[in-house]
Structure 1
Amino acid sequence: MLSAKHLKQKIDLVVDGLKSLRDEGKFNEPNLDGSAGDYVSFNSWEWPQGVGLYGLAQMWRRTGDSSIRMLLEDWYAGQIEKGLPPQNVNTTAPMLPLSLLWQETRDPRWEEPLKRWADQLLSEMPRTRCGGFQHNVSDKINDDELWDDTLFMVALFLASYGQAAGRKDLVSEAAFQFLIHTFYLAEHETGLWFHGFTFDGHHNFARARWARGNSWISAGVLDLLELAELDEATRRYLTEVVRAQLETLIGYQAESGAWHTLVDDETSYEEISATAAIGYALLKGARLGIGPASWRDAGLKALAVTVKNIGDDGVVGNVSYGTRMGHDLQFYRDIPIQPTGYGQSMALLLLVEALNIASEEA
């Protein structure tokens, strides 16, 4: 276990790595509106950057680092001045950290964009026949499909902003999205989650127990429990959902401390964004009393391997690129490695959570 001093040094390094990310044009595909997609550069408004900013916002709330607040404010001021992109699941992700910034500062610059975006989600976001948000993204319409990614990208924002704004309708919608996605994506036999579900044929595609998708859920449920006041029944239900999932995930943790990109497939490569997020959930779950001490031990193993994958430049390695819905398991084994904002963010969340342990031991 690293000391608080060394954890803070790693945190600073990862922040620098996040800010340094630049698009090299390897994966660019045009968006539906004709714009060029950039899912890597720090200054682009997309879901990897949104998740990266979420890590920064949570770090700022934990440490009070004024330079991080300034970084966030400058980023959002520039984006709003430039004009926000069309709304979809993935472009909603940057709204979550903005809601945290507004909750803490009540800066009027952020209130109108947040309200407009949230109201538009409720009134215009396409839904599947069950009422779950359809996973439309910047470059593709995914008709009648539910993806586990949606909960982290959209529902957490609705919960966070709804709580901060006193909007029970938004918190209720967020809770419903978690519940309906659980119904269609959680595997009853194991507690693990499949990547997606389609109403066109009523199936879970490749039935992929995708590690990062599972990490969106483990981290997302635990964050939801802290971001918003849920009714007691929903809180108890989701607590049991994440407890069952994490108990199973621990059994698939590799000797290195990592998880494979397909949780139950040792031939798939070990993937660090999922490892960091699952480690974060395990440490947080142990701290909140949701899981036993063994969760903390497994979380610390994930911390150790995550730290090993932080380069001298602060860039987190062995992170798989954005992953579409796979129709066979080989698709997931073949996803290329690419540093991303979410890789940086998940490492940040894990490192900041580990500060709680270091502070206790100091």
Structure 2
Amino acid sequence: MLKKISLLLLTICSFQLLSAQPNPLTRFPKGSTPKEIGKQLAYHFINGKHELYDRSIHYAEVCTWNGALDYALEVNDKKLIKHLQDKFEPLFTTEKALLPPMNHVDYNMFGSLALKLYQITKDERYKKMGLEYADTQWTLPANAKPEQKSWADKGYSWQTRLWIDDMYMITVVQGEAYKVTGDKKYLDRAAKEMVMYLDELQRPNGLFYHAPDVHYYWARGDGWMAVGMPNLLRMMPDDHKDRPRIMEGYLKMMKSLKNYQQPSGMWNQLIDEPTFWAETSGTAMFTYAFIVGVQEGWLDAAEYAPAARKAWLAMIPYIDQRNNVTEVCIGTGKKNDKQHYNNRPRNAGDLHGQAPYLWCAAALLGE
């Protein structure tokens, strides 16, 4: 009897000790807290000029804007929200020419920003604009090419191109449309598309080639998938028919990424090349995917929370005194040449890097 009591007490003490352990995704050292970093990067974004892509707002700016809004909501910074609204307001009038056309996956994702602003402000102008971007992603234009018509006939977006980037670009605008309207068609569109991309593009090791004919695991390319999957899963009810397949793809990718994380906490420009340079945008995207997975209970906290913390702390020194994230690979097209990836220029302040840092800060604050 005494032995049983002793074992019971030992079990209780062990449980209490484990429960008392600090959460690795909280209590960061001064200078590296998500609140500090998020504020630095979000206010830095406000004063920046528009980043243009073929004379219209670049998708990387939209990603950064969304991240700044998410951060502002987490810390209830009404002043920041107002600044971000003010930055958008000219797009209704004097800067209307900068609105992206509704004819490409990278352009239509702009609607996600308008829809996010609608959820904050309830200003119908944002809703009208955002839904138009979401709906035209599935409305076949009169001048559609045969391949685009073929995708539409199968129930997919006519903008489908089987680039891994699309699984952020398509899912983000369709997902925000679902949040705004509650109309399941938007969620179903995104989920159907995601399942098809997973079936077509995910490799046996869980990662994704930059292109079917370019067999390299480029960090930021894979990052779009790493972010798109958990963001979509967060919206999906447990009984959605596509949820198991997407969860399978997500968990498979996370396991592989965990194995390729460098001792420093970073991931490299090519994920599986240990001698390549550490790249910040891909690292931040993978870190975000870990954070969300731990918070939602999809990933084992004992294994993935310390990895996410290590990555976050490794990311901070790459922010320079001007609040620019450094070591961001510039926009990169596919090329069947490994050295091409190692030689890519690295920008400071490139919004491809600023955005996922903000996503991580907001996610950590949502713990």
Structure 1 contact 50–97 (Cα < 8 Å) conserved: yes
Alignment-mate amino acid for residue 311 of structure 2: A
Alignment deviations for residues 55-113 of structure 1 (CA, whole Å, 9 cap, x no partner): 11221332221123212322222123222231222122332132122123321121211
What secondary structure sits across from 1:152 in the alignment?
helix
* Distance of aligned partners of 1:133 and 1:336 in 2 relative to their CA distance in 1, 3 Å threshold: farther
Structure 1 contact 171–230 (Cα < 8 Å) conserved: no
Alpha-carbon distance between aligned partners in 1 of 2:126 and 2:194, rounded to the nearest angstrom: 26
Of 342, 347, 353 in structure 1, the residue corresponding to residue 352 of structure 2 is 342
What secondary structure sits across from 2:346 in the alignment?
coil
Q: Does 1:2 align with 2:28?
A: yes
Alignment-mate amino acid for residue 265 of structure 1: E
- Indicate the RMSD between aligned Cα atoms, in angstroms: 2.5
Of 213, 216, 235 in structure 2, the residue corresponding to residue 208 of structure 1 is 216
1:262: which partner in 2? 270
* Distance of aligned partners of 1:174 and 1:65 in 2 relative to their CA distance in 1, 3 Å threshold: same
Alignment-mate amino acid for residue 129 of structure 2: P
Alpha-carbon distance between aligned partners in 1 of 2:250 and 2:331, rounded to the nearest angstrom: 23
Structure 2 contact 138–157 (Cα < 8 Å) conserved: no
What secondary structure sits across from 2:332 in the alignment?
coil
The Cα of 1:244 is off from its aligned counterpart by: 0.9
1:95: which partner in 2? 111
Structure 2 contact 65–113 (Cα < 8 Å) conserved: yes
Q: Does 1:190 align with 2:205?
A: yes
Percent identity, aligned pairs only? 23
The Cα of 1:218 is off from its aligned counterpart by: 1.6
* Distance of aligned partners of 1:331 and 1:225 in 2 relative to their CA distance in 1, 3 Å threshold: same
Of 50, 55, 63 in structure 1, the residue corresponding to residue 62 of structure 2 is 50
Alignment-mate amino acid for residue 324 of structure 1: G
Alignment-mate amino acid for residue 253 of structure 2: Q
Gaps of 5+ in 2: 1-26
Alpha-carbon distance between aligned partners in 2 of 1:86 and 1:323, rounded to the nearest angstrom: 22
1:171: which partner in 2? 187
1:107: which partner in 2? 123
* Distance of aligned partners of 1:134 and 1:342 in 2 relative to their CA distance in 1, 3 Å threshold: farther
What secondary structure sits across from 1:345 in the alignment?
helix
Alignment-mate amino acid for residue 181 of structure 2: A
Q: Does 1:282 align with 2:308?
A: no
Structure 1 contact 54–94 (Cα < 8 Å) conserved: no
The Cα of 1:311 is off from its aligned counterpart by: 1.3
2:363: which partner in 1? 353
Q: Does 1:221 align with 2:257?
A: no
Alignment deviations for residues 308-334 of structure 1 (CA, whole Å, 9 cap, x no partner): 111122111111111222333333222
Structure number with larger C-alpha Rg? 2
What secondary structure sits across from 2:162 in the alignment?
strand
Alpha-carbon distance between aligned partners in 1 of 2:109 and 2:30, rounded to the nearest angstrom: 30
The Cα of 1:163 is off from its aligned counterpart by: 3.0
Alpha-carbon distance between aligned partners in 2 of 1:181 and 1:117, rounded to the nearest angstrom: 21
Gaps of 5+ in 1: 36-43, 136-143, 197-203, 358-362
Alpha-carbon distance between aligned partners in 1 of 2:43 and 2:174, rounded to the nearest angstrom: 29
- Count of residue correspondences: 326
The Cα of 1:4 is off from its aligned counterpart by: 8.1
1:146: which partner in 2? 162
Alpha-carbon distance between aligned partners in 2 of 1:98 and 1:113, rounded to the nearest angstrom: 7
TM-score in terms of structure 2 length: 0.81
Alpha-carbon distance between aligned partners in 2 of 1:315 and 1:246, rounded to the nearest angstrom: 28
Q: Does 1:120 align with 2:128?
A: no
Structure 2 contact 114–127 (Cα < 8 Å) conserved: no
Structure 1 contact 159–228 (Cα < 8 Å) conserved: no
Alignment-mate amino acid for residue 72 of structure 1: L
* Distance of aligned partners of 1:48 and 1:222 in 2 relative to their CA distance in 1, 3 Å threshold: same
Of 38, 44, 49 in structure 2, the residue corresponding to residue 17 of structure 1 is 44
What secondary structure sits across from 1:254 in the alignment?
coil
Alignment deviations for residues 101-140 of structure 1 (CA, whole Å, 9 cap, x no partner): 21233211212111222221111376384555576xxxxx
Alignment-mate amino acid for residue 70 of structure 1: K
Alignment deviations for residues 12-44 of structure 1 (CA, whole Å, 9 cap, x no partner): 1112333354589xxx9x83xxx4xxxxxxxx6
1:306: which partner in 2? 315
The Cα of 1:174 is off from its aligned counterpart by: 1.0
Alpha-carbon distance between aligned partners in 2 of 1:86 and 1:56, rounded to the nearest angstrom: 23
Structure 1 contact 219–280 (Cα < 8 Å) conserved: yes
2:328: which partner in 1? 319
Structure 1 contact 21–340 (Cα < 8 Å) conserved: no
Alpha-carbon distance between aligned partners in 2 of 1:97 and 1:23, rounded to the nearest angstrom: 14
1:199: which partner in 2? none
Q: Which moved more, 1:110-119 or 1:250-259?
A: 110-119
Of 73, 80, 85 in structure 2, the residue corresponding to residue 68 of structure 1 is 80
TM-score in terms of structure 1 length: 0.82
The Cα of 1:155 is off from its aligned counterpart by: 2.0
Q: Does 1:329 align with 2:338?
A: yes
Structure 1 contact 49–94 (Cα < 8 Å) conserved: no
